Amino acid sequence: AAGVIQSPRHLIKEKRETATLKCYPIPRHDTVYWYQQGPGQDPQFLISFYEKMQSDKGSIPDRFSAQQFSDYHSELNMSSLELGDSALYFCASRLGQGGNTIYFGEGSWLTVV
């Protein structure tokens, strides 16, 4: 079965640069979540979308923005990167906003040097 696809899997950027992460949800899933997991840390909720609209917001820095497109894929844009942004970024998807299983991608490793 198709899973959540994230790209790129690994990304190295310099401080103050910009990075874009992409997420392709499981077919028919209309809800996407983004999480950030620092080294040795727990996943922290960043932002979620349902039917192309932002549905909730967590601890997402103002330097980050995200959107969900008409085909339900989502992109997380990160600007003015800082060393502390180095983390594993997860995307997850599910059908509907509540009650169903949420499936996660393998994550995108961002290293800021």
- Residues at the site binding another protein, with contacts judged by CB under 8 A: 31, 33, 35, 42-45, 48, 50, 55-56, 58, 88, 90, 92, 97-99, 101-107, 109
Instruction: Report the residue number, 78 or 107, with the smaller CB distance to another protein.
Output: 107
Range list of H helices, 2-112:
none
What's the min distance (Å) between Cβ of 67 and another protein? 16
CA-based torsion, 36, 76, 9, 73: positive or negative: positive
Instruction: Report the residue number, 11 or 104, with the smaller CB distance to another protein.
Output: 104
Closest CA to 76 of 7, 12, 27: 7
